[in-house]
């Protein structure tokens, strides 16, 4: 891996700390891959591609790290967009799920993928120009270590009403996602790019796949799951906020 440093152990979230296969399991990974393949989140990928291109304008061979990359849907999109624009990118992805990474490596054979934790990245200091984090754990200190001064960090979080109509089916009293602007040591805030649109899922398989890739999968009462399972069609708003940070000079 890019400027690799020796890694002797990998840290995991507390709930999967002792699992032999931490992170998203085979079923979750397959559900997310199928859902993403249908293009429902293509506008988010497009927005990431545009921001990465903008941040790479003066770089011939930008080095990208996608932390918590999952199956590499966004990693591959950003890499290909950079290639199409005439750059000679290098892309790396880390995730604690080996199932996700197997798919990522197939999706982007040119990429360098490693099973590792975001809290202990297998990269040398200041070795990346771009770092992305899409719906996965944030480790500001590690991100600041591996990103070079002036490098760009893109952090994607759900908006207040992301999947609102699905939540209305699942819960009697749905809550909005908390929206906050958190400053991180070592980074300066540049801007927030909102992505908002609506999707219609017109088969129960896609509705189930979407549900499985959300955190609600773990914490929905049985009645909510049954109500969602009974649906043949679901239209829901989706919303992402892309927080753009610049790594401060050392």
Ligand X SMILES: C[S@@+](CC[C@H](N)C(=O)[O-])C[C@H]1O[C@@H](n2cnc3c(N)ncnc32)[C@H](O)[C@@H]1O
The residues of the shown chain that bind ligand X, judged by CB under 6 A, are: 12-13, 23-24, 32, 68-70, 73, 94-97, 100, 117-119, 134-137
> Which lies closer to ligand X via its Cβ, residue 94 or residue 195?
94
Helix (H) / strand (E) containing 223: helix 222-229
Whole-angstrom Cα distance, residue 156 to residue 68? 12
Q: How far is the CB of 132 from ligand X (least distance, A)?
A: 8
Helix (H) / strand (E) containing 94: strand 90-95
User: What is the token pair recorded at 195?
Assistant: 């992505």
> Which lies closer to ligand X via its Cβ, residue 18 or residue 222?
18
Instruction: Supply the DSSP string of 168-199, one letter for each residue.
Output: HHH-SS--PPP------TTEEEEEEEEEEEEE
> Which lies closer to ligand X via its Cβ, residue 97 or residue 220?
97
Q: How far is the CB of 136 from ligand X (least distance, A)?
A: 3
> Which lies closer to ligand X via its Cβ, residue 63 or residue 69?
69
> Which lies closer to ligand X via its Cβ, residue 75 or residue 127?
75
- Three-state secondary structure call for residue 73: helix
The maximal CA–CA distance of the chain, rounded, in angstroms, is 55
Residue 124 in contact with residue 4, Cβ under 8 Å?
yes
Using the structure block, give the residue that is written with the tokens 């991180």. Answer: 184
> Which lies closer to ligand X via its Cβ, residue 112 or residue 227?
112
Strand partners, 95: 115
Strand partners, 67: 94, 133
CA 243 to chain CA centroid, nearest Å: 13
- Three-state secondary structure call for residue 243: strand
Q: How far is the CB of 226 from ligand X (least distance, A)?
A: 24
Q: How far is the CB of 216 from ligand X (least distance, A)?
A: 12
Q: For residue 199, give Cα distances in angstroms to 169, 196, 219.
A: 15, 10, 23
> Which lies closer to ligand X via its Cβ, residue 137 or residue 174?
137
Q: How far is the CB of 172 from ligand X (least distance, A)?
A: 25
Within 10 angstroms of residue 21's Cβ, the number of other Cβ atoms is: 13
Q: How far is the CB of 103 from ligand X (least distance, A)?
A: 10
Q: How far is the CB of 75 from ligand X (least distance, A)?
A: 8
């Amino acid at each position: 891996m890019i400027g690799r440093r020796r890694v002797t152990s990998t840290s995991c979230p507390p709930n999967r700390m002792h699992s032999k296969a931490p992170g998203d399991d085979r079923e979750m990974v397959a559900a997310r891959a199928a859902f993403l393949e249908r293009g429902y989140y293509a506008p988010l990928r497009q927005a990431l591609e545009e921001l990465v291109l903008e941040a790479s304008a003066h770089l011939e061979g930008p080095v990208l790290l996608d932390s918590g990359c999952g199956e590499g849907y966004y990693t591959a999109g950003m890499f290909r967009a950079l290639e199409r624009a005439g750059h000679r990118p290098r892309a790396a992805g880390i995730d604690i799920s080996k199932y996700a990474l197997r798919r990522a490596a197939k999706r982007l054979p040119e990429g360098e993928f490693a099973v590792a934790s975001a809290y202990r990245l297998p990269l040398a200091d200041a070795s990346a120009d771009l770092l992305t984090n899409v719906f996965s754990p944030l480790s500001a200190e590690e991100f600041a270590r591996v990103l070079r001064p002036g490098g760009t960090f893109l952090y994607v979080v759900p908006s207040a009403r992301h999947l609102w109509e699905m939540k209305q089916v699942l819960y009697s009293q749905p809550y909005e996602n908390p929206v906050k602007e958190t400053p991180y040591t070592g980074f300066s805030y540049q801007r927030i790019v909102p992505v908002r649109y609506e999707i219609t899922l017109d088969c129960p398989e896609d509705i189930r796949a979407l549900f499985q890739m959300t955190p609600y999968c773990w914490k929905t009462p049985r009645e909510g799951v049954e109500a969602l399972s009974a649906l043949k069609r679901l239209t829901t708003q989706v919303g992402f906020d892309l927080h753009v940070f610049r790594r401060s000079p050392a």
